[in-house]
Amino acid sequence: MNHDNRLNTSALQGIKVLELARVSPAAYCTMVLGDLGADVLKVEAVADEVAPAEGASAVSPRREEGRLQAAHYALNRNKKSLAVDLKSPQGRQIFLKLCEVYDVVLECFRPGAVNKLGIGYEAVSKVNPRIVYCSLSGYGQSGPYRDLSGHDINYIAMAGALHLMGRPGQAPVVPLNLVGDLAGGALFAAVGIMAALISRNTTGRGQYIDSSFTDGVISLVCATPSAWDFFRSGMPPAPGVGAVAGEFPYNNVYETKEGRYITIACVEPKFWGALCETMERRDLVSRQNETGKEREEVFAILRRMFLTRTSDDWFSLLSARRIPVGKVNHLGEVFQDEHFRQREMAIEVRDDRVGKITQVGMPVKLSGTPGSVRRLSPIIGEHTKEVLAGLGYSEREISELHRNGTVSSP
């Protein structure tokens, strides 16, 4: 990859972010910010407060023996960890001191929880009017559903996405938590935070961001071709209906000779024609948009044809003719693929304590200020003493805070 245009800075260098959450979507949001150069501090519960059953995927390991576990967990990379009891007056004071010098707060608790602790936007903006404060929640900070518990499958169901995932007349297919947690939640929150930071350059003030997993999913659903016509016609889209929803043979998944699967997306007539010619079935060119039994006949023909070669064979043949085709890879195959190797989607990070670690690379390639992994994930409270010292606490005061349980370190 050519980095000749690199600058001696990062896109978000100088931006300081407080992550106040114990769930992986929030951790992913701040990982994106951290990868782009932001200085991210995880504000975690003191070690004794972290229940084993709690979302360990988003909570740093407790002790030094968890160092290797932490190193492999990419969502906490480029972050430091402060362990503090926010329910105590002294812990709340520490958090507010941090807010005086930080740019962003991301919290992902139940609506109103941070206000009860005295660390909500109203309290924080008083000590720092320039703060950008993002609350990420399932259904938002207002509305009848604001206090409902939920997870990805609930959010995508309520937002109309799960209804569209599957075939007509069949139960919806339960997907991974990509749409609700990571796209609708984490990425929209990151966009909102960066937009508010840009706005601050003009206004001089920060602002509050109410970001909802479900709102994000609704936006995603309404960006799909299936929903484009909804606001005009009032007719909701149906599962498996539409050019890109699996209704037609030209945009579908097919089993191949060895029992694997291949995808084609020959939506445009030129690609469909090229596919038919490659398969020596020119008689199908005029049958791209068949309906009823005729469409099932085309499906049957293509299914038989794709069973005659392996996925690799079909991919080589069709891609050589620039026909939209993709193998259904598992993750191991993704990172063995030379294309993604060259795209640096797997990167090696070296650490003096744990050696060489492989992690996912940067999905956005900035030529001048590319993202990077500067630090592997911390263990709980790893930077507690460093952070407190940076706030002006003396060694004696830090020792007292440890003694009375306000903070903890490994």
Catalytic residue ranges: 151, 181
Q: Other CB atoms closer than 10 Å to residue 63's CB: what's the count?
A: 11
DSSP reduced 3-state for 246: coil
CA distance 25 to 165: 21
Q: How far apart are the first and last CA of the chain?
A: 39
DSSP reduced 3-state for 80: strand
CA distance 343 to 335: 10
In sequence order, which residues have a C-beta less than 8 Å from that of residue 64 and are 6 or more positions away? 379, 410
CA distance 289 to 235: 22
Contact 166, 172 (CB under 8 A): yes
Contact 18, 10 (CB under 8 A): no
DSSP string for 164-202: GSS-TTSPPPPPPTIIIIIIIIIIHHHHHHHHHHHHHHH
DSSP reduced 3-state for 374: coil
DSSP reduced 3-state for 257: coil
CA distance 182 to 217: 10
In sequence order, which residues have a C-beta less than 8 Å from that of residue 285 and are 6 or more positions away? 272, 273, 276, 277
Contact 133, 209 (CB under 8 A): yes
Beta strand pairing call for 79-84 and 407-408: antiparallel
Tell me how far CA of residue 120 lies from CA of 27, 212, 214, in angstroms.
19, 17, 22
CA distance 375 to 113: 31
Q: Using alpha carbons only, what angle is made at residue 16 by residues 135 and 139, rounded to the nearest 5 degrees?
A: 10
Contact 275, 264 (CB under 8 A): yes
Contact 85, 91 (CB under 8 A): yes
